[in-house]
Chain A
Amino acid sequence: MLEKALTGGKGYWRWVTLLLGLMALGFLSYMRQFATGLGITGLSRDVTWGLYIAQFTFLVGVAASAVMVVLPYYLHDWKAFGKITILGEFLAIAAVTMCMLFIFVDMGQPTRVVNIILYPTPHSLMFWDMISLSGYLVLNVLISHVTLDAERKGVKPPAWIKPVIILSIPWAISIHTVTAFLYSGLAARPFWLTAILAPRFLASAFSSGPALLILMCLILRRITRFDPGSEPVQKLALIATYAMSINVFFVLMELFTALYSGIPEDIEHFEFLFLGLNGRTTLVPWMWAAEILAVTALVLLINPRTRRKESTLAVGCVAVFLSIWIEKGLGMVVTGFVPSPLGKVTTYVPTVPELLISLGIYATGLLLITLFYKIALSLRGQVAA
């Protein structure tokens, strides 16, 4: 099956080379970080987690969102999703792999990372996050391999895979819930200490993930002979619309509780996000951009005419994706640290090596997606000549 990834046109190879180049750049930057330490990043004594952990958090959501095609197809028999479940599962594999890489590059002592397995610690949420993420990876690799293999042979998938697929549904919910618990269980950080964090994570995941899948379907239709048809795209759009509305609703609830209760330590974090604190305004333009994008997305998605038209739908999906990337991939993690428990407001800006390492990891994920989709579509004979 894998040999299908090794044949392709000029455009395919140009794209793969570009990704490999970015990966090499990221790897070289990581070697520098490995030699000199995490001081090479913009992190500091007060802002101890930054871009890496934020990307991890965001991508857990993308991984979990595969459930939004698997669940309707297997539990509600939405036949329209038949062609795209495999795309969702492959996206999940690539996203979980990126999550693991982002965690790995954030470790101060990466060579000791096996200590998490050597000294299993059930009272640490990180232990459970490791279990849920690696389990989810195994599930998706198994499911996609077995179903694709059956498709290649022109037979029905074996019956035993069905319960495994059903298991992957609550498992997907668990990966993002446990990831939210990493944050929401800390008494030290009022910004994260909110029971709505896990539901918020899920809502944002179930809007950004399907939005990304829609965009991928549209791109694949352009560059390959794969055509999912308009029905699954429209159903995904509906899911993204509901999830994004719920996400924005949850954010407003957070704002209400913090602002109306008036507890200073709760307000300060939102002040830092949207107005700036002690003159530090690094995140302010980003956060306002995220809000404008969120409103744009809602307008385009809720309005049936713009949702049904593919060009406006695409714009809406890009807006959803960017808005949630800013919210989770930039704002959520760093703001938990500002102000610090001792009242310090520290600016965090990622450095060039930090950005290159992150870019390298994203390139790795994109390469995986490219290879997986190439294999799947080659098997179906849907690759462009």
Chain B
Amino acid sequence: MGEDRRSFLKLAGLAALCAAGKSSLSRLEGSAETTSVEAPKGVRRAMVVDLVKCLEKDDCTACTEACRRAHNVPSIPDPKHEVKWIWQERFRDVFPDEEAPFAAEALTARPALVFCNHCDNPPCARVCPTQATWKRPDGIVMMDWHRCIGCRYCMAACPYGSRSFNWEDPRPHIKALNRDFPTRTKGVVEKCTFCDELIDKGQPPACVAACKEKAMTFGDLNDPGSEVRRLLRSRFAIRRKPGLGTQPEIYYLV
């Protein structure tokens, strides 16, 4: 995966150089932030989360644990220093605009899964001063933990609280070390990467594979015959804070 990232960076650098050579700055920015409308070709990764299925088993943390193991996500007891890739929050905090005034408290307090939205128009990638976070052509918002300077501007810019910072050395807090995935150092930001290391090998993300209820579906939004498109056709889905124009690629079936 390290190799992949490097070759991608080289390609991106080359492309940027060429673009800068022949066009203005605004053109360069325009080409870096392709929107869904402009890019009908190619693959666009997305996830559909079935909130009803997700709640079938109480206190289930299979996806969180699978992600933790796959990516060496530390278990830090101090909530102020926590590192989280995929976790649960109360429905009303996840969807503050979806107010349901007379719903039972138990309903709005029920958990919903949250993780990086892999926005089509990611504010984090826009503000990053070193391009340590960027959007891949297939829509995955990636991180380079070796380039990140730890300024945390991306955390201020993310409207979903999806990013974590390593306030301390995470390594002592890793329960079971996965030698096939890098650990991080103190002082860098990290988040969900849609398991780029797995999907590039044609496998589903670790959380999707771990969910016995099959509440999470991963696929290509640009393929009308894909499972994600079928689900989005058949049921009503919501996204987090759609009004901000970030175009999240995580859809929640309600």
Contacts and interface: CB of A to CB of B under 8 A. Distances in A.
Interface of A: 36-39, 43-46, 48-49, 106-110, 112-113, 115-116, 118-119, 121-127, 130, 182, 185-189, 265, 336-337, 340-344, 346
A334 B68 CA distance: 30
Contacts of A127: 129
A187 B243 CA distance: 10
Contacts of B168: 36-37, 39
Contacts of B131: 119, 121
Contact of B149 (A49, A116, A123): A116
Given A38-B150, A48-B152, A118-B130, 5 more contacts: A109-B187, A123-B29, A340-B161, A341-B158, A343-B90
Interface string B157-181: 1111100111111000000000000
Interface in B93-120: 93-94, 96, 114
B152 A126 contact: no
Contacts, number: 144
A188 B149 contact: no
Given A38-B150, A187-B246, A45 B127 contact: no
A112 B149 contact: yes
B130 A43 contact: no
Interface of B: 25, 28-29, 32, 79-82, 84, 89-90, 92-94, 96, 114, 123, 126-132, 147-153, 155-161, 164-169, 185-189, 244-246
A108 B81 contact: no
Contacts of B84: 45
Contact of A38 (B79, B128, B187): B187
B128 A121 contact: yes
B156 A187 contact: no
Contacts of A342: 89, 93-94, 114, 160-161
B161 A44 contact: no
Contacts of A346: 80
Contacts of A119: 130-131, 147
B127 A124 contact: yes
Contacts of B149: 107-110, 112-113, 115-116
Nearest to A129: B129
B50 to A, nearest CB: 21
A38 B166 CA distance: 8
A137 to B, nearest CB: 18
Contact of A187 (B161, B188, B244): B244
